[in-house]
Structure 1
Amino acid sequence: MTAAAGCGGDSDSGSGDTIKVGLLASLSGTYKPVGTELRSGFELYLDTHDNKLGGKKVEFSVGDEGDGPPTAVPAATKLIKKDKVDVLTGIVANGSYNAVLPLVEKAKIPLVSSNGRPEVKNVDRLWHTAFLSDEPGAAIAEYVKDEVNGPVYAIGPDYQGGYDELGGFTDAFKKAGGKLANPGGETKWTPFPKTTNFMPYFADIAQSDAKAVYSFYAGKAAIDFVKQYAQSDAADLPLYTAFVTEGSVLPAQGKAAEDIYSVLNYSADLDNEANRKFVADWSAKHDAPPTTYAMASYDAASVLDKAIAAADDKGEVNSETINDAIGRLGKIESPRGSWEFGKTHSPVQKWYLRQVRPDGKQLANVMVQDLATVGD
């Protein structure tokens, strides 16, 4: 059936057999490792599906989000205005969402984002294949309360993503009856992105009555945090985290990361058919195991693949019909296990506890147990 691609908003891609997809991700700055994984995950899906989504050839454009709105907005503007994409995907930093969404809404194109996302009021054109940023902490909080005999010290970066990630943990932890070791019961915030020396913070933790630490960091900050933690007076305290050991940061952290716990919606050793295929395809192109960042972006491509095919079956493919079709997809089989979009257009999904352990000659985030199913 002939597609009328690019009929949404400012897009005019023209060819009925082509879909224009733009990916916005941090390819420079603090979160370059995360953005690179988002790009690689989406590209893997295209590579293993003949560079087609829903049977349509894909013109794939990439924009550098950098560290947030100052670079994200011009990059998104180019993708929407100049490249005239039919759909946008990606986005690493929470701060980028509210800056980019007005552009998406004006152009009337769907955004299928693929990393942590803050709460957003209008999700009519926003779909999300990763998680809401308060969910990882909420998923592990009760487990930490049950495992740790005493107060827990919460620490994270002083920006929106940190507020969301740590807030999810501290709110659920206190609700479960847990107590924070922080002075005044308030999370310790480290200036972002300039904090590279965490030793003064670790000294404060060691002087507190903390029996464990909960933190969120990613990219280079995660490397600095873990290496210095292992050398600090707080090193004997169990460290529970979101994302601190995920991705290419783990080899850089080395032995300093051993035994660290993390909460995540994905682990490369999950035993299901979709994950076995994903890991095999990924391993054929990459030396390291796949990450949740790559998986969520791979799933974004899978969502678009199914939605574009469904729109085509109904007679017309454009930004509006793709957006409508996404809302009718139901259960999605994924390397993480099956999931579906909830009311907030983000996944209702299972979360896992992992621990950094030796896996052959390398360290890996090894799945320990299921934690909770989170989502609306």
Structure 2
Amino acid sequence: MPLITPWRSRALTAALLAAVLTTSTACGDDAPGTSAGGSIKIGLLASLSGTYQAVGTEIRDGFQLYLDTHDGKLGGRQVDLIVADEGNGAQTAVPAATKLLKQDRVSALTGIVGGGSVAGVTPVLNETKVPLVGSNGRPELKDVSRVWHTSYLSDEPGAAIAQHVRDNVKGSVYAIGPDYQGGWDELRGFTDAFGKIGGKLANADGKTTFTPFPATTNFLPYFARIKASGAAAVYTFYAGSAAVDFVKQYAQSEIKDIPLYAAGFLTEGGVLNAQGEAARDIYSVLNYSPDLDNAENRAFVAAWKAKHDGSPTTYALASYDAAAVLDRAIGAAGSDPTPEAINTAIGKLGQIASPRGTWQFSTTTHSPVQKWYLRQVRQDGRALSNTVVGDLATVGR
């Protein structure tokens, strides 16, 4: 989310290039991505500061968990992981990625929280001929020749839950979300699919209400509009601190009894702890839940809990899977795993066993063809959790 994609891409200036924040475990002048000792350089770019710092931290930690449980190797080669800060979007992501690709000369890039960041970085990927195995939502791109994602396209969560909402809500639905690329994609996925099956929006103009991002912290005026609309339910996408504000204020507002449906990022990870009782009973859609009952997930959750407080999120899961993809692809690339060879190998992987369930890359979008799950915030022991209550559509194209 999912995602979650912060700011739009903007023109970069020389001053932004100086703002790159990078920490490295290796650098040098070897051939791209490899060192004399047979190791391989992988660049990880994630939001380690700014609005989505929590998401970026999960992405970093999910990738590191895979390395920790696989002797620090991918494809049989020791990994030199070079981590850079994406910040709040393309303005800082592009110069950080440029350093990883051109100066550090990584064999592959992974991570990236923002859809706008992905769009901004793609031209540099093509210039350097290095693949990206991204681990968060992204918009549709015209050129995905070197862009792969283990997460989802940003319009897919809403598309996956639209039929369930249509079948279970007797009346119109109010759509609301943040005014940036991620919000546009997430809400469009729902409203387009909902409209095609006869669903009606309660919004006064029949269009999604977008709130200024990241400036909006008081949602009460918007809740007044929702009440006046006569909506039978609300569908939304928010993440990070905005999700906490939205949910807490919703639970205290005059519309608190109107059912709330959302892309799963609204209650995912640490934000659920911050929301507390205010999040109870919220329905959400996501491609993962830590309570999925399969061998891969049981092992993943146990390994995560051995190193971290709480359960893993979809962000950590997608990054763990990104490492798994690179593991197989680097191994399949042979004795000389060049970026081009790795990119070719990714396209031939076929089905991938994962804690979320088996999935595979779409040949057209390079994003997963995967099952989506309906979750509800329920009591789980002494804590609230996102509990799977049903299967939704399998989405991917």
- TM class by shorter chain equals over 0.9
Partner of 2:358: 338
Deviation at 1:152, TM superposition (A): 0.3
Q: How far apart in 1 are the matches of 2:54 and 2:290? A: 17
Give matches, 1:32-51, under 5 Å: 32-51=53-72
Which position in structure 1 is the counterpart of 2:252?
231
One-letter code aligned to 1:262: S
Structure 2 equivalent of residue 373 of structure 1: 394
Q: Report the TM-score when normalising by structure 2.
A: 0.91
Q: Which residue of 1 aligns with 2:308?
A: 286
Task: Give how far 1:241 is off.
Answer: 0.4
Following TM superposition, by how much is the alpha carbon of 1:10 offset from its aligned partner in structure 2, in angstroms?
Answer: 8.2
What is the identity, as a one-letter code, of the residue corresponding to 1:345? H
Following superposition, the deviation at residue 175 of structure 1 comes to 0.6
- What residue identity is the alignment partner of 2:192? D
Which residue of 164, 175, 198 maps to 1:143? 164
Runs of 4+ aligned residues of structure 1 deviating over 3 Å after TM superposition are none
**Contact 2:33–2:42 (CA<8 Å) still a contact in 1?**
no
Match of 1:274 in 2: 296
In structure 1, give the amino acid aligned to 2:326.
L
Distance 1:139 1:15 in 2: 47
Deviations 1:256-303 (A, max 9, x none): 001001100001100001000000000101111110000000000000
Structure 1 pair 145–125 and aligned structure 2 pair: CA distance change class (3 A): same
Pairing of 1:107-256 with structure 2 (within 5 A): 107-242=128-263, 243-256=265-278
1:354 and 2:375 correspond: yes
Q: Give the direction of change, closer, same or farther, for the CA distance of 1:287–1:183 in structure 2 (3 Å limit).
A: same
Match of residue 58, structure 1, among 69, 74, 79: 79
* Distance in 1, Cα, partners of 2:181 & 2:223: 22
Mapped to 2, the partners of 1:175 and 1:358 lie a distance apart of 35
Q: Aligned pair in 2 of structure 1 residues 65, 13: CA closer, same or farther (>3 Å)? A: same
Q: CA deviation at 1:15?
A: 2.6
Structure 2 residue matching 1:100: 3-state secondary structure:
helix
The question of 1:326 aligning with 2:343 is answered no
Deviates more, 1:291-300 or 1:89-98: 89-98
Alignment-mate amino acid for residue 336 of structure 1: R
Q: Which amino acid aligns with 2:317?
A: M
For residues 116-164 of structure 1, the C-alpha deviation after alignment (integer angstroms, 9 at most, x for no partner) is: 0100111111111000000000000010000000000000000011000
Question: For the residues of structure 2 that align with 1:14 and 1:108, how far apart are their CA atoms?
Answer: 18
Contact 2:44-2:81 within 8 A present in 1 as well: yes
Q: Does 1:22 align with 2:38?
A: no
Q: CA deviation at 1:318?
A: 1.1
* Deviation of the 1:13 alpha carbon: 3.6
For structure 2, which runs of at least 5 residues remain unmatched after alignment?
Answer: 1-26
Residue type of the alignment partner of 1:36: T
Letter paired with 2:328: K
Which residue type is aligned with residue 365 of structure 1? Answer: N
Residue 316 of structure 1 and its aligned partner are, at CA, apart by 2.4
TM-score (norm 1): 0.96
Point out where structure 1 has 5 or more consecutive residues left out of the alignment. 1-5
Moved more, 331-340 or 91-100: 91-100
* Structure 1 Cα separation of the partners of residues 34 and 299 of structure 2: 33
- Output one character per residue of 1:207-250: Cα deviation in whole Å (capped at 9) or x when no partner: 11100000001111111111111011111101000110011111
Question: Among 282, 295, 304, which residue is 1:260 paired with?
Answer: 282
Partner Cα distance (1:336, 1:16) in 2: 35
**Alignment partner of 1:331: what SS?**
coil
CA contact (8 A) 1:87 1:109 kept: yes
For the 8 Å contact 2:32–2:338, the answer to whether it is kept is: no
Match of 1:316 in 2: 336
Partners of 2:37 and 2:333 lie apart in 1 by 13
Q: Separation in 1 of the partners of 2:248 and 2:379?
A: 17
- Percent identical residues: 67
| Structure 2 counterpart SS, 1:27 | coil
Looking at structure 2, the residues matched to 333 and 365 of structure 1 have their Cα atoms a distance apart, in angstroms, of 22
1-structure distance, mates of 2:345, 2:333: 6
